[in-house]
Structure 1
Amino acid sequence: MTLLTRDSADFLSAARLLEPDFGPATPRSVFLITPEGFSLAEESAQDNSYMAEAQAFDPGRALEQHRQLQLAMSAVVPVIGFPGREETPDAVFPNNVFATAPGRVVIGRMRHPVRQREAAREDIRGFFSDTLGYQTVDLSTQAHVAELTGALVIDRARGLGFIGLSERCDEEGARLMHEAFGLRASLMFDLAPSEYHTNVVLAVLAGRAAVVCPAGFAEPALVDVFSDLYGDHVVICNAQEHADFVGNCIAVSNNTVWMSARAGQSLTADHNATLSAAGFALRTVPLDSIEAAGGSLRCCIGEIY
């Protein structure tokens, strides 16, 4: 029996009983897609208020910063890189399209046609199905928008899902993702009208800490759910931290949290201390050119479980 609900009390009643034995809390490796063809995607800009104007896009700088991200992260976890393509300018954010659970790859249903093209890439599909031998759960051709780990933030240790509903994920899409990842309990909630993805305003770090931007939720009181589950290891972002992508961070190992240099500079000393108390050292990488496209470091990381 699994639970998918909008009722936070029901969700917490189930979640409090779950042990951190669902699976590995962090991925065994990650994959990236390099920013060849990186440019303003007009369709994506319709509902992504974080995107910059076209003149802010610097493809050369984006390629160099992305290379530095891959180099830095390879010191912590194996990193696989796929080349970008001119016809998919947003592909530098692959976690919305391809995500994994042990033994299977889930392919998402993107809202915008410019991003739907990414799901058709046979090289990435083949890597998971043929090279890794993963089962494919393909949501890309069904009607309901389900932008994977952009819309869905997962506590991998306990099998919990946090699904923000917006134009990038509807309730049926949430149900399909909950089932595709085999989660034990998932909470659905509305994002604030200005938000497009949950992972910009929420991160769960190795199953034991959370970074939360309350203004990103239609009901800011939702932060109480995370305080209940993660106790003193919750960073509640202020407005500047929210704007600077502090919420778009990730732990790909048990002792390090990664965010962009912009986010790291915005992170307050007290909040850095909260992460340290949870057992995380902070690592940052300059990604201002990537952030022009409306996402930051976590968005660049596809996880392989």
Structure 2
Amino acid sequence: MITRAADAFFAFARGCAPDFGPATAKAAFLVAPDGFARADQSAQDNRYMAGADAFDAARASAEHRELQRALSQSLPTICFPGDPDAPDALFPNNVFATASGKLIVGRMRHPVRQREAERDDIRGWFRDVLGYAETDLSRQPHACELTGALVIDRARGLGFCGLSERCDEEGARLMHEAFGLRATLLFDLAPGEYHSNVVLAVLAGRAVLVCADGFADPAVAEAIAGAYAHALRLTAAQRLAFAGNAIALSEDAVWMSAAAESALAPADRAVLADAGFEVRSVDLRTIESAGGSLRCCVAELF
């Protein structure tokens, strides 16, 4: 099922057991921020991106190395070198994703990011080292920026796809099929929002973080929150601190940036604790000037 009808989606979703696959990834990979700089094309529709004077390549590299060290506490985490001609390449989850031993390559909206999908080393690692099959969506015309646009409940096989310039309805259909999902809910993001994973996170199939003002229709956000036993409803200020750009890489921990964690109130931490999550964070203040945060940096291996 792929639909805009929230009532039909949630009626179907209620019958989906958490047996679709592992709720969290078995490993992760990053791409180093080599050539870290402002990508003017990406800035056209990413309101979270700072001005060029906020970009410090040395500091971004140091933050990124610490991120890899920290995430390695939860699961094996490798890092590919960056490309100085691809300044957004440190956010590989928009370009590469996996599902059940399959590599999925997305179609980016902006040409400056489309070149990332052509990396033979990353494709070859999945093909020749891991033996993954490949589904290549990068050469068709419809934008589908993978787990930036599509937030997935991996335990139940459910997708939540926010439509914007970065993903249209056909792109969403292609991703739904590539991931083999049971059901995907389509909804419009609010004007100015570029990716769902800034305003929504599903944590190990048990909890959600959701910011209603990032949705064109806040009722959709509330319906998603109501579908989970543990729901943290984020404020606009917390969204701007990237609290929604979080990820569970194990059953017991949720990762976010230090700025995001500092934006959480005690009651918010209690919601996450009740869901069984410890909050872990890394200082990414320089990386966040590029308009993404911790979850954007992480490509998951399933």
Measured after TM superposition, the shift of residue 168 of structure 1 is 0.0
Equivalent residue, structure 2, for 1:20: 18
Instruction: Give distance in 2, aligned partners of 1:103 and 1:78.
Output: 16
Q: TM-score of the superposition, structure 1-length normalised? A: 0.98
Q: Note the 1:123-272 alignment, pairs <5 A.
A: 123-231=121-229, 233-272=230-269
Gap regions ≥5 residues in structure 2: none
Equivalent residue, structure 1, for 2:96: 98
Instruction: Give distance in 1, aligned partners of 2:278 and 2:120.
Output: 37
Equivalent residue, structure 2, for 1:70: 68
Give the secondary structure class of the aligned counterpart of 1:230: coil
Measured after TM superposition, the shift of residue 268 of structure 1 is 1.2
Measured after TM superposition, the shift of residue 61 of structure 1 is 0.3
Give the secondary structure class of the aligned counterpart of 1:163: strand
Q: Deviations over 1:96-132 (max 9, x none)?
A: 0000001100000000000000000000000111111
Instruction: Give distance in 1, aligned partners of 2:190 and 2:225.
Output: 20
Instruction: Give distance in 2, aligned partners of 1:85 and 1:287.
Output: 20
**Identity across the alignment (%):** 61
Equivalent residue, structure 1, for 2:289: 292
**Aligned residue type for 1:259:** M
Instruction: Give distance in 2, aligned partners of 1:253 and 1:244.
Output: 23
Q: Which runs of at least 4 in structure 1 moved beyond 3 Å after TM superposition?
A: none
Q: Deviations over 1:62-83 (max 9, x none)?
A: 0000000000110110001100
Give the secondary structure class of the aligned counterpart of 2:197: helix
Q: Deviations over 1:117-173 (max 9, x none)?
A: 000000000011111111100000001000000000000000000000000000000
Alignment partner of 2:276 out of 279, 288, 291: 279
Measured after TM superposition, the shift of residue 224 of structure 1 is 2.5
Alignment partner of 1:57 out of 39, 55, 58: 55
Q: Note the 1:36-47 alignment, pairs <5 A.
A: 36-47=34-45
Give the secondary structure class of the aligned counterpart of 1:40: coil
Verify the 8 A CA contact 2:245 2:296 in the aligned structure 1: yes
Alignment partner of 2:31 out of 30, 33, 36: 33
Equivalent residue, structure 1, for 2:300: 303
Instruction: Give distance in 1, aligned partners of 2:9 and 2:74.
Output: 34
Instruction: Give distance in 2, aligned partners of 1:19 and 1:88.
Output: 40
Give the secondary structure class of the aligned counterpart of 2:227: helix
Measured after TM superposition, the shift of residue 269 of structure 1 is 1.0
Instruction: Give distance in 2, aligned partners of 1:240 and 1:9.
Output: 29
Equivalent residue, structure 1, for 2:82: 84
Measured after TM superposition, the shift of residue 227 of structure 1 is 2.8
Give the secondary structure class of the aligned counterpart of 2:279: strand
Verify the 8 A CA contact 2:88 2:290 in the aligned structure 1: yes
Instruction: Give distance in 1, aligned partners of 2:7 and 2:25.
Output: 30
Instruction: Give distance in 2, aligned partners of 1:220 and 1:294.
Output: 23
Gap regions ≥5 residues in structure 1: none
Instruction: Give distance in 1, aligned partners of 2:259 and 2:68.
Output: 18
Measured after TM superposition, the shift of residue 222 of structure 1 is 1.2
**Aligned residue type for 1:159:** G
Q: TM-score of the superposition, structure 2-length normalised? A: 0.99
Give the secondary structure class of the aligned counterpart of 1:288: coil
Instruction: Give distance in 2, aligned partners of 1:20 and 1:6.
Output: 22
After TM superposition, the structure 1 stretch with the greater mean CA deviation from structure 2, 140-149 or 222-231, is 222-231
Number of aligned pairs? 302
